[in-house]
Amino acid sequence: MTAPPLVAVAHGSRDPRSAASIAALLDVVRASDPGLDVRAAFLDLSAPRLPDVLSALAADGHREAVIVPLLLGSAFHARVDLPALVAEAHARFPRLSVSVSDVLGPDDRLSAVALRRLVAAGARLDDPSLGIVLAGAGSSHAPANEAVAAVAASWARRFPVAGVRAAFASTADPDVPGAIAALRAAGARRIAVASWFLAPGRLPDRVASLAGDAVVADPMGDAPKLASLIVDRYLATAAVAAA
């Protein structure tokens, strides 16, 4: 039986670097499993939009599809936007069965990629004078912010640094300057900012602009560990759908 297509759904951005980064990540997914039909889609701001991708699948005669949300946490887009679009697709294309996997987080591979990007930017995780800010998007949904804070807390336990604080680019507190100030008050003499973002865009740029002279890591991008996480989310959901 032919495996259902994997529809990887990202948020979308007006910044073309974002879609290009998602495309590069999905190229890594395809390279890891050449037989898998991988389609990119976006919730907003970038093309192709998810309804258009599902419409094309239905028009081609596909009976199944598995959506993997390229979202780091379960915030508004995962809890509201995506289910609404899937419900609309079920109504429009009753012969197309659409399953949705869990979001990417929490998973240790996300933490590993963010740390690798941080080290690549020049941060030393054995520096007792270093303060680390883990910067994410921020959400009105408190559990999504708490998930980022939990990663920061795990780093604080793991590495002999001056401290690790979560911070957010919008909506939630603390912001990046607030987290940096708290780390300096706790004795940090150097600051490094880790990126809890998949791709470049407005919010990562805002984080960098607020970081002052701190080392700032790149977003997670096209890391192979991310590709393996996407495939694992797909396989788990496809197995349940086929049972």
User: pLDDT tens-digit profile of 114-167?
Assistant: 999 999 999 999 999 999 999 999 999 999 999 999 999 999 999 999 999 999
What is the per-residue pLDDT for 76? Answer: 84
What is the per-residue pLDDT for 1? Answer: 62
| CA pair distance 236, 95, nearest whole angstrom | 22
Tokens 């297509």 sit on residue: 5
**Cross-strand partners of 168:** 136
Spell out the residues 6+ positions from residue 25 whose beta carbon is closer than 8 angstroms to its own: 70, 198, 199, 221, 222, 223, 226, 227, 230
Pairing between β-strand 38-42 and β-strand 97-100 as defined by DSSP bridges: unpaired
Set out the domains of the chain in order of their start, with CATH numbers.
6-105+223-242 (3.40.50.1400), 122-216 (3.40.50.1400)
The pTM of the full predicted model, rounded to 2 decimals, is 0.96
Burial string for 166-198 (b: 16+ CB within 10 Å, else e) reads bbbbeebebbbeebbebbeeeebebbbbbbbbb
pLDDT-flagged residues of the chain (< 50): none
Residue 236 burial (C-beta neighbours within 10 Å; 0-12, 13-18, 19+)? middle
What is the per-residue pLDDT for 242? Answer: 87
What is the per-residue pLDDT for 52? Answer: 97
